[in-house]
Structure 1
Amino acid sequence: MPRIIDSNDKNLIGDKVKALRKAKKMSQQTLSDRLETMAIYVCRGSISRIEDKSRTVTDIELYGISKVLETPIESFFES
């Protein structure tokens, strides 16, 4: 089955997650902890892998990340 994205990246949002998290002066662990309060369990290591695009992101994880980072989901897909 052909891939939708012709690269080794496993998500499109990693760079934006990292930039927004750093702009809010938030650690990967803090992001993980805040997601956990929403019953979305993404460990610190998985946050790192999302940011370096070596891990996929589920829809519920994207929803939680957008809420924690106070950013509309659509903005993760803008340049």
Structure 2
Amino acid sequence: MKLILDSKKRNISGSRIKIARLKNKMTQRELSIKLETLAVYIDRASISKIEQHKRIITDIELLALSKVLDVSVNWLLGLEE
């Protein structure tokens, strides 16, 4: 398995975040607003960068994303189907 630092990807969850967001029929802006209710501030442009694997995600952000998108952290990390 390649280390994240060996790749141009800055995260491994971006694709799954986009899948879950679209499944929930949510725009990037709507996701940003829902994250704010958990005191996690990621603007729409940053969500776009996350989904394109161009921005690192903190553990706090990953946990909040899993709650808002109603998926497990393990699913976002690609550890479960």
* Structure-1-length-normalised TM-score: 0.92
- The whole-number CA distance in structure 2 between the counterparts of 1:46 and 1:54 is 9
RMSD: 1.4
Size of the aligned set, in residue pairs, is 77
Q: How does 1:5-44 map to 2 (within 5 A)?
A: 5=4, 6-44=6-44
Q: Give runs of ≥4 in structure 1 deviating > 6 Å.
A: none
Matched with 1:61 is: 61
Q: Could you tell me the percent identity over the aligned residues?
A: 43
**Aligned partner of 1:19: which letter?**
I
Q: How does 1:67-78 map to 2 (within 5 A)?
A: 67-78=67-78
Following superposition, the deviation at residue 4 of structure 1 comes to: 2.6
- The whole-number CA distance in structure 2 between the counterparts of 1:49 and 1:61 is 14
* Structure-2-length-normalised TM-score: 0.90
- The whole-number CA distance in structure 2 between the counterparts of 1:41 and 1:29 is 11
